[in-house]
Amino acid sequence: MSQPTGTERSDDETRGPLSNWVDSAIKNPKKVYRAMFYVVVIFFLFTTLFPLYWLTMIALSNSNRVSEGVGLLPAGFDPSSFVEIFQQIPLHLYLFNSFVFATLTTIFVLIVASLAGYAFGRLEFRGKRTLLLTVLIISFFPPAAFFIPLFQLFTQQIAFLGLTPPELYSTPGGVVVPLSAIFMPLAIFILTTFYSQIPDGLEDAARIEGTTRLGALFRVIIPLSAPGVATAGILTFIAVYNEFFFSFLMTGTAAQDWAPIVDGIISYQSQFQVRYDLMAAASIVAVVPVAILVVVAQEKIVSGLTSGALKE
């Protein structure tokens, strides 16, 4: 294999590179496997990235030539939309608002859901099933079903159990609080699943070393569930960052009133005219923070976290 004989070599030359490859592939099926793997990778990259590529082409197109059709290259070339998006509206403020919502909600959800996930995943208690079902049932409802009472509550029109909360409308609280509740069931389920898979032996070891049960959760179980926690975090963050229903209705339309990024993006749309190039450019800009987050967080989704831990 490694040392082809002279005749083979001359053979190869006449048959060309493809059949050479086929030949060596037959001898070494790993090669075929590798090649197929890369084909699959490229396929997935193409399907996920192509629409984004095209979005970039729209952003780079000349604004009034978009409607002529944008192909693989921009219609006209006008990168100025990336500047214009900041001139028309304070896009950075919208970005900041969404970022604040997403960060606060993600932290809050991860903490509260971690406690609940620990209880559901690792403790035995009566009513576990029922409570878990209750959590699930909350996500059956269209968000609109929660909206009006919360809206009235946050605008101090009604009281909850006799209490009137501070006016949360048009503050981060008005978005973070409902979104926390809405994205909590998913996070609880994810964390429950992952926490329950950490072997008891490791928690036992931590407790013997002197942690409380809660300490074991934060020092051992959460670090070892990093893939699950990172996933729950990414999913929640992105969902909130792009959430439109509550963040739109619970805030004003202006960046100063805590309007979210999506509000910013759609304001490039006027009644009869849509600046696709601006919307595209703005959404590309808006995706950047998320992309950075994903780059960072995906490092946590690594394998083998529990290998070498236990003999069993």
Cβ at position 285, least distance to other proteins in Å? 11
Q: Minimum Å distance from CB 58 to other proteins?
A: 7
**Contact, 181 vs 149, CB < 8 A?**
no
Burial track 246-263 (b if 16+ CB lie within 10 A, e otherwise)? bbbbbbeebbeebbbbbb
Q: What is the largest CA-CA distance in the chain?
A: 94
Distance of closest approach, residue 89 Cβ to other proteins, in angstroms: 9
Residue nearer to other proteins on the CB measure, 25 or 112: 112
**Residue 107 vs 294, nearer CB to other proteins:** 294
- The amino acid occupying position 97 is N
Q: How far apart are the first and last CA of the chain?
A: 42
**Measured from the CB of residue 82, what is the shortest distance to other proteins in angstroms?**
15
Residue 3 or 7 having the CB closest to other proteins: 3
| Closer residue to other proteins (CB): 7 or 77 | 77
Nearest approach in angstroms of CB 309 to other proteins is 4
Residue closer to other proteins by CB (options 11, 309) is 309
* Helix segments in the chain, DSSP class H: 6-27, 29-60, 81-88, 91-122, 128-138, 144-154, 172-196, 200-209, 213-216, 222-224, 226-241, 245-249, 261-266, 276-298
* Residues near 262 by beta carbon (within 8 Å), at least 6 away in sequence: 98, 242, 243, 244, 247, 248
Smallest gap from Cβ 159 to other proteins, in A, equals 11
Closer Cβ to other proteins, 11 or 78, answer by number: 78
Q: Considering the complex, what minimum distance in angstroms separates the CB of residue 10 from other proteins?
A: 27
Structure tokens, 102? 């997403």
Q: Is 266 exposed, middle or buried (0-12, 13-18, 19+ CB in 10 A)?
A: middle
| Residues facing 274 on adjacent strands | 269
Looking at beta carbons only, is 10 or 156 nearer to other proteins?
156
